[in-house]
Structure 1
Amino acid sequence: MRQPAFAHLTGPAMWRRCDFDRTRIAPAPARVMLAPKATLPAKAADPAPWLAARGGAAVVPCPPDLCAEAAVLLADPARGLLALEGGATGTWRALPLPRARVRRPTPGPFDFQPTTPPADPAAPVDIARDAAGRVWLLDRAPPRLRVLSPDLTLLDTQTPPGASAPDQVVCSDWCAAVTDGDRLLVQPFGGVWGVASLPAPAIALAADPEFDLLVVLLPGPKLAIVTPDGLTVHALPAITAPVFLLVIGPNTIMVGEPRGAPGSPTETRFVSYGLSPADGPTMISSFGVRGVDGRAVWRQGDQVFASTADGARALYAREAPVETEGCVETYALDSEIFACPWHRVFIDACIPPGATVTLETKTADSLPPFPVRRPPRPPADVSTPATPVNIEDPWPPLGSLTADEAGWTPLGELDVRGAQADIPDPPERITRPSEEPYAQVRSDAVAPWPQVTLEGLIKAPPGRYLWLRVRLTGAERCSPAVLAVRASYPRPSLLEVLPAYWRADPVAAEATDRALALFEGWITEIDARISVLRQLADPRLAPPEALAWLASYAAITFDQRLDEAVRRQLLSEACWLYERRGTVPGLTRLISILSGAPAIIVEGFRMRRQSAAFVGQLSPILGSGLQLGDADAGGASEDPADAELEADYAALMLRRAMIRAAGGQPCPPDDPPYPLETDPLARFVRRFAHRFTVVLSRARTPVLEAVIQDAIEANKPAHTLHALCWMDAGFRVGGSLVGLSRLGETPCFEPALLGTAVLGADNTLGRAEPETRFRTGDRLNQERTGKP
C-alpha cells in the first residue's frame, strides 16, 4: 500500500504567514499561544508623579586591580548622588557632588579672602556610563553635562546646544544622547552634537554602553529606534501606559508600566520585547516587581533591578493574563493533485488542564482571486499592521475572504496520542518546551504539561488546497501551545489492494472502503515504520539511542566521553579504520575524528639528522648536516625507559661488586651484559626508531587527552612509543626546531614532484652557501662577511 505524503507547517517563518486572532508566536521553539490581554489596568497610574520622581542609575564596574563588586550610582533629583551599599538588599548612601580639582595658590601679602564660598553644584537629574567607564551627569538648571572619571573626578563640562530643559542622558557604544522635549540631542563619540526632531515629546530614553541600540519611548505607546542614519517609529503591543524603558540586549528592550503611586506595594509590570527590522517590537515575556519608587531601573549582569526607598529589588518573572479564546488560520497547503482526498491531520501541542484545541478545515481546487484576497493579520504581540497582499508573493493566500467567514468543516473531537505518534522514528523523549535554566540539570523531571499529538480525520470534500483554522481555548493563566501541524494526502485505501470485483459497484465499494478504513490507520503507520527500518543501518540517520546497537555489529564499544557526532563518524568509517589499524593513515584519521581537528603523526626516524657532507668540490662544505658519531655517546640516555634500565643495571653491578668485596661470590658468577647498545651508530638509530609524535591542532583538555591516549594505546603497534604535542603547548625558541606544519594538501614528509622527478631529502636545489655565524661584538662590514 502506498504511503501518503505530508504537508507541514512548523517554524517561525511558516507561522508568520498565517492569520492571527488574539494569538501570538512564542519563541524557542516557535509555537502559537493565546496572546496577552491588551486591556487598561484596573487603576491606571498617573504618570506625572512617576516622571517627577524619575532620576537615573549607572553601574560603574570595579577596577581590575581591586577585588570589589561593581558600584551602582543613583541620580536622585531630590537628594543628589547616591550609591547602593550592601548589594541589592543594601541601602542608599549619599555621595558628595563632584568638583573639579583646582590648585589653590598660596595667599600673598596683598590677596583678599573671598567673602562668600563657591556655590554647591546642582543635584543631577540623570546619570549614565559610557563604554570607556566615564560617568555622565545631567543637570537641568543650568542645563549642562558633567563628565566624570570612574573615581568621580570632574573631567569636563559640556552644554548641549539649544538645550532648555534636558530630561535624560544615556550612552550607547557609539554616542551620547539627551532628550529635551520633542528634540533628541545626539553626540557621536569624537564628533559634534546633532539635533533630531521626534514626533512627540519623549517619555523615556534608553541605551547601553555595551550595545549600539538607542531607543526612545513616545506616547501612543510607540518606540523610536535611533541609528546614525535616522530613526524609525513602531507601535508597542501588549502595553498601554508605559513610563520606564531599558535596553537589556543588542536587540532586546524592557518597558515598564506602573500602577498606583511611587513606592506603593502595587505591582509594576514590565514587558520585554525583541526588535527586528521586519516586525518591529515583538513581545517575549513579562516581569513584575513591587515597591518601586520610580527613580531608576538598571541592568546588572543577567538581572534587572528597580530602585526602592530602602534599596533595590530584582524583577521576577510574571506571565501576563492571556485571552481565553483565539484562533490561527493557515495559508493554503498545496497537494498539487486535483480533487485530492485529504486524509488525516496531526497537531503537536501542549495542552494544560482546562485548555482545548479544536480544528476546522476547508478545501478547494482553486485559490481565491487576487482582488478579493484578505491579507493575514499579524500576531497580537507584533506591532506591524496587516499589509495588502502582493501579487508577486510566492506564499499561498488565506482561504477566507473575511475574518468570520462561514463554510468551514469542523473535525469534532480530536484523538489524543503520544508525542509525534505518526512519525515512524520520533525522538526518544519529547516533553513540553522549557527555557528553565535548570532543565538540562533535571532532565529526568516530568514536565507538568507533556507534549501530545492530536489526530483528526479530514471530512472536507476533495480539493487541491487545504486550509486549517485552529481554535485555542484556555484560562487567563494558562494557554495551549501549538508547535506544528501535519496533514497527510492523498487518503490511502485498503480497497486498492483488493481485487477489482470489490470496486465494481460504487455504492458497495464506498461501504467496503469505510469498513476497511477502521484498520487503515495502524496498517499505514506500520508500513511507514517498516519503510524506515533501513535508516537504522545508516550511522547518519539512525536515532541516537540506536548507535550503540549498531556499533555492536562492528565490534565497537563507545567511550561514554564521546559525543554523538564523533560516534556517528566512527561508525561511518569503521570498516576503513579496521583495514588500516596500526598504520599511520589509520591512526591519523582515528585521532582526527576523536579530536575534531586535523592531526599529524611525525615518525621519529623522519626527524633523524642527515649525515652527509659535500667534500672534494671547489669549496668543501661541512655544514650542520655533518655528524661524527653519536652526540650522546658515552653520556646519559635521553630515553626515560633506557635511563631507567641503565640505572637498574648500575644498581645491580654495584650489589655484585659489594658481594665480591665482602669475599663472596655473586650468582651467577658471570656479570650480565650491558643492556643498552654500545655502538654509537646503533644508539643513534635506536634513539629515533619505533617512536612517533602526534601533533594536534587543538587546545589540551584533560578529558580529550585521556580519550586520545586510550585510543592510541589500543590501536598503535605494541612495540612503539608515542608523545602528544598540543597546539597550546607553545613553541621551542631555544633551538632550530620551531614547529611542524603541513603545507597544502600534501604532508611535508612526502616527497615532492618537480615535473616527473621525485624530490627527496637527499636532493639539493641550487648550490649550498657557506654558513656564516656572528658573535656578540662582531662588526658587520665587507671584511667580515667577504661580500661587497
Structure 2
Amino acid sequence: MTCAPHPATFRLLDAHVGWDESAVHDLVGFAEEDGLRLAACGGWPQGPTRAELLPWFPDPRLAPGCRPCSWYLLLPDAPSLLRRDGCGQWLPVWPPDCHPDLPRAPLSVAARGHRLAVVAPDRVLVWRRQGEQLAGVIPGRGARLAALAGGDEVWVARAGSTRLWRFSSAGRPRGVLRTGVTGEIIGLRTGPGGVWLLTDDGGRLRVHRGGPRTPFAPATVDELAAAVPPSALVEADGDGFCLRENSADGPVTTCYTWQGAPRPEAPPAPVCHVPAGSYRTRLIDSGVSRCRWHRVRVDADVPPGTAVAVDLVVSEDEHYADSDWQSAPPGVTDFLVDQPPGRFLTLRLRLSGDGTATPLVRRIRLDFPRTTSADLLPPAFRQDPAADDFTERFLSLFDATLAELDRVIERYPALLDPAGVPDRVLPWLAGLLGLSFEAGWDAPTRRALLAAAPALYRRRGTPWALREAVRIVFGATPVLDELAADRRWAQVRASGAGSGPGLGAVRLFGRSASRFRVGGSALGAAPLRAFGDPDSDPLTAHAHRFRVLLPAGSADEDALRRLVGRQAPAHTVGAVRLGGRGFVVGAQSTVGVDTAFVPPRPPVLGGARPVRLNRDAVLRPGPRGARRGVGVGVVSAVGVHTRMS
C-alpha cells in the first residue's frame, strides 16, 4: 500500500501481500492461497498426511492395473499374487499347477499395462502379458520399491539410498539417477510429468518430481493431482483397505482384508487437527499520525464446530496494555474499530475447532482512516463527541450496504463475460444478444458462440460468418457452394473473343427445361412462370442459392439445417448435404465431403453359387485356348481387365 500514488485507504493481510506475523501458535498456511487453518496432528503439522496421498502412492502391497477396476494384491506370507476381476473377487494370477517360485517375504508389487513386477530384498521379477511370460530377473540387494515406465523400463529404489536404478524388463542396466532428495523414499511411481517420489524426512512427507533430464524438485499435492489421475484407493489401515469406484448407481465403496476377503466398510479415518491456534501481527503502520482506524473484515469459512475470534489494539507507538485489546463479538467477522486514534494497529486471530474440522481464513482487510456519511453533515450535528461517535456508527450501517451495492455495480461487466459466468447464466446472456441455443450444445460451444457474437453480427450474411458459425457449433469447417456460378445454360456459338463458355465447360439444357415459350416448348414439358425475363433464366434460376457441404458424420443434418436457416440472409435459400461414400465421374464431387478413394470390389463369378476370383476358384483356358491381351469383339474395360503386352 505504500507504493500507491494516493494515500492508502486499506491494508490487506493474505498470502500475496503477507500476513505480517509476529507470533504463531499451531496455525499453518501462511504461504498458501487457501489461507490460514489449524495445524494437523502428527509429526509434521503442515501436511500432507499419508491418507491424503493414498490415491497416488498406495500401500506397497497394492498396485492398480491397466483397467479401472483391475488391482493386484501381494500376499507376503504365502507368498502369492492376487488379481481383482470385474466382479470384485480376488483370484490368483497363476493357477496352482503353474505357480512360479516367488521369493520369500516379497516387499512390493508394481503394474503398468500388461507388465508386472514383484520386488524382493534381493531381486526384482518382471513379467509380461499380465504374468504369463517371465521377462527378466533384476538382481540387487536392498531393493524396496519398483515402478514400470514407458520404453520397457523398470525403476528400482533401494533401502537406505535416495538413488534410482534403471533397468530394462530383461534385467539389463540402463544407468543410475541421483535424485538429491532428503529422507527415505517410501513411494515411487511414473506417469505424466516424469517420475514422482514420496519421501519421509523425520515424519514430514514430501512429494518430488523429476526425471532423467530434469532435476528433482519439491511438488505440491495439487500439482500431483493435476498431472496424475488418482486411483480408487481411499482407505488403508492395519485391517485392510477400501476402494471407491463409480457405478451406474453412483460411487460405491468396497472394502477388503489384506488377504483379499470382503469386509464391512470401515469408517473413514478422522482428519485430526489441533483444537486451537492463534496468530498475532506486528505493528501495522497506517502512515497517519493519530489515525482513526475504521473497519475490519475477515474473509473466512467457518464450518460447524469451529470458531474464529478477532482481537485488535490501536496505539501511537509500540506500547499498549493488555486491557486495551478490543474483542469482536462471537461469530462476527465484519465490525468497526472502537479504539482511540493511533498510528499503529496490532491484530490477533484465534482459531478453534473440535479436532475434526478447521476454519479457513483467506484474507483480512483493515480500512482506515474512518470515512462515513457523517462527514457530509453540517458541523452543528458533530459538536457533541458522544453523539458524533453514535452518528458515525449508525451511518456506517448504511455506508456498508451502499458499498456492497457499489461493488456489485463495479463488477457488472463481469456478468457479460462469457468465459467467467456460470453455465446456467449462458442462456440469459444469449438472450441479451439475440442468440438462441439448441438443447444439445454443451457449455464450451455456447461460450464460444457468445465470444464470437460481435464478429458474427458484423459480418452476418457473408460466407465467412456462416462458415464460422458452423465451425464453432460442429467443429468442422464446411464447404460453401454458391450455385449461381455453377448451374448455367450454355449457348452454342462460334468460338472467339466474347463468345462465352464452350461445350464441356457448362451444362447444356434443352428449351423444355426452361420456362415455357410459345412455339418453342412442348406442352407439359416446360414450367409456366408469369414473372421475369425468359432470357435471364440461365442466370436467375439458381441465383441467391447456396449449398453447405460437410463430411459424413461430422454433424446432425437437422441441426445443421436449422443453424443454416438462422444464419443465412433472408433473400437466399440454403441447402445442406452431408458427404456420402464414393463419387461419380462426370458429376460434381467435393474432395473431403463425399470422396473416398477405395480399391475396387473383388471380381465375383455369378451363378447359383458365386465365387470370388483368386480365392475360391481356379480359372482354366476355354475351348479356344489361352488368350493374352485384349481380344477384339470381347467386352473389356481398360485399366480393370486389360494388360498391355
Same fold per superposition (TM over 0.5): yes
Q: What CA distance in whole angstroms lies between the structure 2 residues aligned with 1:322 and 1:331?
A: 26
Q: What CA distance in whole angstroms lies between the structure 1 residues aligned with 2:19 and 2:580?
A: 51
1:169 equivalenced with 2:146 (yes/no): yes
Pick one of 534, 544, 556 that aligns with 1:690.
Answer: 544
Q: Give the letter aligned to residue 195 of structure 2.
A: L
TM-score with structure 2 setting the length = 0.61
Q: Give the letter aligned to residue 186 of structure 1.
A: W
Q: What CA distance in whole angstroms lies between the structure 2 residues aligned with 1:6 and 1:550?
A: 35
Q: What CA distance in whole angstroms lies between the structure 2 residues aligned with 1:636 and 1:86?
A: 74
Structure of greater relative contact order (alpha carbons < 8 Å, 6+ residues apart) = 1
- Count the aligned residue pairs: 541
* C-alpha contact 2:372 2:399 (8 A) present in aligned 1: no
Pick one of 258, 262, 266 that aligns with 1:308.
Answer: 258
1:720 equivalenced with 2:572 (yes/no): yes
* C-alpha contact 2:487 2:507 (8 A) present in aligned 1: no
1:489 equivalenced with 2:375 (yes/no): no
Shift in Å at residue 324 of structure 1? 1.5
Shift in Å at residue 95 of structure 1? 2.2
Corresponding position of 2:509: 633
* C-alpha contact 1:74 1:127 (8 A) present in aligned 2: no
Corresponding position of 1:608: 486
Corresponding position of 2:126: 147
Corresponding position of 2:349: 470
Corresponding position of 2:329: 413
Corresponding position of 1:359: 310
Q: What CA distance in whole angstroms lies between the structure 2 residues aligned with 1:193 and 1:355?
A: 53
Corresponding position of 2:239: 292
1:346 equivalenced with 2:297 (yes/no): yes
Q: What CA distance in whole angstroms lies between the structure 1 residues aligned with 2:360 and 2:323?
A: 26
Shift in Å at residue 575 of structure 1? 9.4
Q: Residue deviations 1:95-140, cap 9 Å, x none? A: 258989xxxxxxxxxxxxxxxxxx9564571454465632223344
Q: Judging changes above 3 Å, is the alpha-carbon distance between structure 1 residues 332 and 207 closer, same or farther for their aligned structure 2 residues?
A: farther
What secondary structure sits across from 1:459 in the alignment?
A: coil
Q: Judging changes above 3 Å, is the alpha-carbon distance between structure 1 residues 671 and 555 closer, same or farther for their aligned structure 2 residues?
A: same
Q: What CA distance in whole angstroms lies between the structure 2 residues aligned with 1:569 and 1:137?
A: 50
Q: Judging changes above 3 Å, is the alpha-carbon distance between structure 1 residues 547 and 346 closer, same or farther for their aligned structure 2 residues?
A: farther
Shift in Å at residue 586 of structure 1? 10
Q: Give the letter aligned to residue 546 of structure 2.
A: F
Corresponding position of 1:82: 81
1:206 equivalenced with 2:206 (yes/no): no
Corresponding position of 1:499: 378
Corresponding position of 1:523: 398
Q: Judging changes above 3 Å, is the alpha-carbon distance between structure 1 residues 335 and 733 closer, same or farther for their aligned structure 2 residues?
A: farther
Q: Judging changes above 3 Å, is the alpha-carbon distance between structure 1 residues 577 and 134 closer, same or farther for their aligned structure 2 residues?
A: closer
* C-alpha contact 1:340 1:464 (8 A) present in aligned 2: yes
Q: Judging changes above 3 Å, is the alpha-carbon distance between structure 1 residues 551 and 532 closer, same or farther for their aligned structure 2 residues?
A: farther
Pick one of 166, 177, 181 that aligns with 2:159.
Answer: 181
Q: Judging changes above 3 Å, is the alpha-carbon distance between structure 1 residues 604 and 511 closer, same or farther for their aligned structure 2 residues?
A: same
**Residues 629-778 of structure 1: pairs in structure 2 closer than 5 A:** 631=507, 633=509, 674=527, 685-686=539-540, 688-693=542-547, 706=559, 710=562, 712-714=564-566, 716-723=568-575, 737-738=590-591
| Consecutive unaligned residues in structure 2, runs of 5 or more | 1-6, 45-58, 515-522, 594-637, 641-645
Q: Residue deviations 1:390-433, cap 9 Å, x none? A: xxxxxxxxx99xxxx969833331575xxxxxxxxxxxxxxxxx
Corresponding position of 2:66: 61
Pick one of 31, 34, 37 that aligns with 1:33.
Answer: 37
Corresponding position of 2:614: none
Corresponding position of 1:135: 116
Q: What CA distance in whole angstroms lies between the structure 2 residues aligned with 1:235 and 1:558?
A: 45
Corresponding position of 1:221: 203
Q: Give the letter aligned to residue 73 of structure 2.
A: L
Shift in Å at residue 481 of structure 1? 2.9
Q: What CA distance in whole angstroms lies between the structure 1 residues aligned with 2:357 and 2:459?
A: 60
* C-alpha contact 1:144 1:157 (8 A) present in aligned 2: no
**Residues 223-262 of structure 1: pairs in structure 2 closer than 5 A:** 223=205, 225=208, 227=210, 228=212, 250=227
Shift in Å at residue 514 of structure 1? 0.9
* C-alpha contact 1:365 1:465 (8 A) present in aligned 2: yes
Q: What CA distance in whole angstroms lies between the structure 2 residues aligned with 1:414 and 1:288?
A: 37
Q: What CA distance in whole angstroms lies between the structure 2 residues aligned with 1:606 and 1:548?
A: 38
Q: What CA distance in whole angstroms lies between the structure 2 residues aligned with 1:150 and 1:635?
A: 74
Q: Residue deviations 1:567-618, cap 9 Å, x none? A: 899899999988887x33896499389749897894614753798999669x
Shift in Å at residue 539 of structure 1? 7.6
Shift in Å at residue 187 of structure 1? 0.5
Q: What CA distance in whole angstroms lies between the structure 1 residues aligned with 2:63 and 2:496?
A: 81
Pick one of 358, 363, 370 that aligns with 1:479.
Answer: 358
Q: Judging changes above 3 Å, is the alpha-carbon distance between structure 1 residues 529 and 360 closer, same or farther for their aligned structure 2 residues?
A: closer
**Residues 489-638 of structure 1: pairs in structure 2 closer than 5 A:** 489-500=368-379, 508=383, 510-528=385-403, 531=406, 556=434, 559=437, 583-584=461-462, 588=466, 591=469, 595=473, 602=480, 604-605=482-483, 608=486, 626-627=502-503, 631=507, 633=509
Shift in Å at residue 344 of structure 1? 1.2
Q: Give the letter aligned to residue 61 of structure 2.
A: G
Q: Judging changes above 3 Å, is the alpha-carbon distance between structure 1 residues 7 and 548 closer, same or farther for their aligned structure 2 residues?
A: farther
Q: Judging changes above 3 Å, is the alpha-carbon distance between structure 1 residues 551 and 681 closer, same or farther for their aligned structure 2 residues?
A: same
* C-alpha contact 1:297 1:305 (8 A) present in aligned 2: yes
What secondary structure sits across from 2:354 in the alignment?
A: coil
Q: What CA distance in whole angstroms lies between the structure 1 residues aligned with 2:406 and 2:505?
A: 71
Q: Judging changes above 3 Å, is the alpha-carbon distance between structure 1 residues 127 and 5 closer, same or farther for their aligned structure 2 residues?
A: same
What secondary structure sits across from 2:574 in the alignment?
A: strand
Q: Judging changes above 3 Å, is the alpha-carbon distance between structure 1 residues 356 and 533 closer, same or farther for their aligned structure 2 residues?
A: closer
What secondary structure sits across from 1:192 in the alignment?
A: strand
Q: Judging changes above 3 Å, is the alpha-carbon distance between structure 1 residues 249 and 584 closer, same or farther for their aligned structure 2 residues?
A: closer
Q: Judging changes above 3 Å, is the alpha-carbon distance between structure 1 residues 292 and 509 closer, same or farther for their aligned structure 2 residues?
A: same
What secondary structure sits across from 1:528 in the alignment?
A: helix
Q: What CA distance in whole angstroms lies between the structure 1 residues aligned with 2:458 and 2:218?
A: 64
Q: What CA distance in whole angstroms lies between the structure 2 residues aligned with 1:158 and 1:13?
A: 52
1:319 equivalenced with 2:270 (yes/no): yes
Q: Judging changes above 3 Å, is the alpha-carbon distance between structure 1 residues 8 and 249 closer, same or farther for their aligned structure 2 residues?
A: closer
Q: Give the letter aligned to residue 125 of structure 2.
A: R
What secondary structure sits across from 2:399 in the alignment?
A: helix
TM-score with structure 1 setting the length = 0.52
* C-alpha contact 1:587 1:716 (8 A) present in aligned 2: no
What secondary structure sits across from 1:170 in the alignment?
A: strand
Corresponding position of 1:44: none
Q: What CA distance in whole angstroms lies between the structure 1 residues aligned with 2:475 and 2:367?
A: 43
Q: What CA distance in whole angstroms lies between the structure 2 residues aligned with 1:28 and 1:607?
A: 65
Q: What CA distance in whole angstroms lies between the structure 2 residues aligned with 1:304 and 1:17?
A: 47
| Consecutive unaligned residues in structure 1, runs of 5 or more | 41-53, 63-68, 101-118, 238-246, 255-269, 273-286, 369-398, 417-453, 643-669, 741-774, 778-788
Q: Give the letter aligned to residue 368 of structure 2.
A: Y
* C-alpha contact 1:128 1:171 (8 A) present in aligned 2: no
What secondary structure sits across from 2:174 in the alignment?
A: coil
* C-alpha contact 2:278 2:349 (8 A) present in aligned 1: yes
Q: Judging changes above 3 Å, is the alpha-carbon distance between structure 1 residues 683 and 30 closer, same or farther for their aligned structure 2 residues?
A: farther
Q: Give the letter aligned to residue 516 of structure 1.
A: T
